[in-house]
Amino acid sequence: MYKKLFVLLLLAVLGWSFFTLLQTHQERQSLNPLSKHYVEKGPDEVGAPNLVTAIVVTYRGFDTLGEVTILFVSAAIVGLFLKTENRRRKYKIRSTSEILHAAQRLLFPVMILFGIYIFMNGHLTPGGGFQGGAVIATAMILVLLTNPESPISHRAFNLLESVSGFSYIIIGVLGVLLAGGFLDNHILPLGKFGNLFSAGAIPLIYSFVGLKVGSELSSIILNLNDVQKDDK
């Protein structure tokens, strides 16, 4: 009981310190110089209407590279931890209802298409690699829900993940060789502002990121799902 009281007191002091931080904070009236630069020059330099994507993919592309590595490592660790069980064992599962099967057959292609749409148009409309990948992963969950033994092979996802990751690195290195620096999107022509194939390599990078995130999250789910049955 005393422990809880003590923690409460502790959090009260922490809260008070955050409160003092908040008090000094003034809501800005205009954009700060850095973001003003991005907003004004962004479209010309990078050619992507969606400024957030512009920052995420090119300006701070190195962060996104780090970001993808984090997901890659998490997927690898989940795989490392749950690898001990052998995969291809037959096990009895109660069958799912017919309605679920029908819905799944209808929804699955739509969701995949929706996911691809999101990361293809990352630079035009809100969305991008991460969101697209997540939608694809949810599609996978739907499949696994309806049929846990579905023959989705791990190999396929791993290959997809490695291909997209490696090509992401190739684009980065190309940036160094051809254009200004690592992950620069000027290796491809900026094209007309606003249509699909514009803003240099951004759509290419973001689709690879989308594929990679999608396959990683699905491999995490697959790892978790495959061990559905209790293991000896």
Q: Which one among 120, 121, 128, 199 touches another protein, defined by CB under 8 A?
A: 128
Q: Which is nearer to another protein, 17 or 95 (CB)?
A: 17
**Stretch 208-227: interaction string toward another protein, x if CB under 8 A:** -----x---x--xx--xx-x
Helix (H) or strand (E) holding 71: helix 61-81
- Asked if 171 and 205 count as a contact pair (C-beta separation under 8 A), the reply is yes
Stretch that binds another protein, among 95-103, 104-112, 173-181 (CB under 8 A): 173-181
Interface positions, 26-55, toward another protein (CB under 8 A) = 26-40, 43, 45, 49-55
One of 117, 131, 152, 191 touching another protein (CB under 8 A): 131
Residue 22 or 99: the one with the smaller Cβ distance to another protein is 22
161 is a site residue for another protein (CB under 8 A): yes
Using the Cα atoms of residue 91, residue 92, residue 94 and residue 97 in order, give the sign of their dihedral.
positive
Indicate whether 63 belongs to the interface with another protein (CB under 8 A): yes
Of the ranges 72-80, 92-100, 105-113, which one interacts with another protein (CB under 8 A)? 72-80
CA distances from 45 to 50, 63, 187 (A): 13, 19, 13
CA distances (Å), origin 50, targets 23, 41, 118, 150: 33, 13, 13, 38
Q: Rounded to 10 degrees, what is the CA torsion of 213, 180, 176, 202?
A: 20
Q: How many CB atoms lie within 10 A of CB 20?
A: 8
Nearest distance from residue 206's CB to another protein, in Å?
Answer: 12
